[in-house]
Structure 1
Amino acid sequence: MFLLFCFTGVAQVLGIKTLKGKITAVDGDITGVVVQNINLDRATITDLDGKFEIAVRLNDTLVFSALQFKKKRLPISAALMNTSLVSVVLEPFVNQLREVTVNPYGLTGQLGKDIGRIPLGKDVSAEGLGLPNAEVKIITQSQRKLFEATSGIGLVPLNPILNAITGRTKMLKNRVKIESTYARTQRVQKFYVDSIIEADLKIPRSKIADFMYYCEVDPEFQAMVDTQDHLKIWDFLVLKSKYYRKNNGLLDERKKE
């Protein structure tokens, strides 16, 4: 009790008081912001609600710092010394990247236009390397089973007859057709990574697979992919994305603002 009385008396003599405050910000986590009195060499951090307490004197300076905010200095005036709770507004820190020049290849920064302008290296494939049997197409498991189901054994073609009766041939044909369609979709997703589809087409990452299926069932999509024209395919995806977002209530974020 005596020590507490002595400490309080010393604090009053030195003009020190405990300043209570609260951090506010439009965006960014206000927890763990460092609050430092650079004159008294004291420091603390904000709690979950952005609140803090720190010892100050008249004309001291507080410095607020965090990775997500711009550093701020707050001089302790007579008005602040008489304030029961001070509110400190912090501005978000935006890390601006240096300008990047894309002119060496005549790029515009628009993916749809730039894909055809980027020089590609020599295709490293079995055909390009001149390997033996490079022209032989590797069939899928479903295609192999379909071949077996429609091919005869010996002089009497029993397999085609039995499989036609049981409906297995029809099932295998449908499976081969589905695999062929899905293979086209996979090729398209190799052209454009998920982050590009999410950023440019405004399709949420969780909806990309559903969006690709939406494109896949369109007969024009299959013919478009077979052309291997990246610009035409991209234009098709841009058009389909507008209908997909409209049908699924995915409003453009820029329109929301």
Structure 2
Amino acid sequence: MTKSKVLPWVVILFTTCLSGQTLLSGRLEGRVYSANADVAATHVLNTTMQRATITDENGFFSISANLNDTIVFSAVQFKRKEIVVSADMLKSKMLSIPLEEALTELDEVVIMPYNLTGNMSRDVERIGTDKEVVTASTLGLPNAYAWVPTKAERELFEATSGSGLLPLNPILNGISGRTKMLKRRVARNNTYARTQRVREMYADSLFRIDFQIPQDKISDFMYFCEIDSIFQSTVDTHDRLKIWDYMRKRSVTYRENNNLQESSKD
């Protein structure tokens, strides 16, 4: 058989293989939905390929999949849903996956009187605390350690990534100073977010009563703590009593610097 006759058969065979591969593998794109519950950050796990992702705030997702792979959808507020990838699913441009809410009946809770004093340090010691923290990882949820970048982190990634033999994006952003600016913004946002999480651990009344910080000065006091390097290392311990003790000592200096008297209690 001559080359001119063999070539068309090679092209047909190659095209057939590509078509078959397209039918057997690809990406599943779709959206999960529910009548009442929030579908954002629902875990999507391909248990066959060991790939995972999470849905965006509107429930949309995209994940690699092959024919007959098992895809699992799960979240605390939903019942676990499992599907097996079919050829029709791979050919579909957009899947719609309904999720059923998980109704959990709680055990009876008995509230015991603790004769609280209002002083957090003494009350925590009196009550006692459970050191085990309930998180997505301690609950064993799939994709519990998935990192969801912030807007500033996404902008920094876009500014420092590129493709091709000579990636221009990171070079131009480095020259213009945009990369340094975005790095500072990410660092600043991370520090601010950490400080906000610390403030949310305690009621404002505790700042006013225990620390004698006026309500309108609490945010300024938190910034006063934030700029101290010891505060950052103390927060990293995740020990609420240690953090509280640090801020109690820091509040003395803050009141002295701002001429706040003990009579400033609300």
Question: What TM-score results when the alignment is normalised by the length of structure 2?
Answer: 0.52
How big is the shift at 1:147?
1.3
Which one of the candidate residues 110, 128, 132 is aligned to 2:119? 110
Q: Which residue of structure 1 aligns with residue 215 of structure 2?
A: 205
Matched letter for residue 231 of structure 1 = L
Native 8 Å contact 1:102 1:109 kept in 2: no
Question: What TM-score results when the alignment is normalised by the length of structure 1?
Answer: 0.54
Map 1:84-233 onto structure 2 (within 5 A). Answer: 102=114, 110-115=119-124, 117-120=127-130, 123-233=133-243
How big is the shift at 1:189?
0.8
Q: Which runs of 5+ in 2 are unaligned?
A: 1-111
Residue deviations 1:33-63 (CA, integer Å, cap 9, x gap): xxxxxxxxxxxxxxxxxxxxxxxxxxxxxxx
Q: Which residue of structure 2 aligns with residue 24 of structure 1?
A: none
1:250 lines up with 2:260 in the alignment: yes
Residue deviations 1:156-196 (CA, integer Å, cap 9, x gap): 22111111111100001101111111111111112111111
Residue deviations 1:104-155 (CA, integer Å, cap 9, x gap): xxx7763124436533496443223322211112121111111111112233
- Structure whose alpha-carbon radius of gyration is higher: 1
C-alpha root-mean-square deviation of aligned residues, in Å? Answer: 2.5
Cα pair distance change 1:254/1:176, threshold 3 Å: closer
Matched letter for residue 115 of structure 1 = V
Query: 2 CA distance for matches of 1:145 and 1:182?
Result: 18
Deviates more, 1:148-157 or 1:137-146: 148-157
Q: Which runs of 5+ in 1 are unaligned?
A: 1-99
Report the secondary structure of 1:126's partner residue. coil
Residue deviations 1:184-211 (CA, integer Å, cap 9, x gap): 1111112111111011100000110111
Q: Which residue of structure 1 aligns with residue 13 of structure 2?
A: none
How many residue pairs get aligned? The number is 153
Query: 2 CA distance for matches of 1:109 and 1:209?
Result: 21
Q: Which residue of structure 2 aligns with residue 93 of structure 1?
A: none
Cα pair distance change 1:254/1:167, threshold 3 Å: closer
Report the secondary structure of 1:154's partner residue. coil
Query: 2 CA distance for matches of 1:176 and 1:218?
Result: 19
Which one of the candidate residues 224, 239, 254 is aligned to 2:249? 239
Matched letter for residue 102 of structure 1 = Y
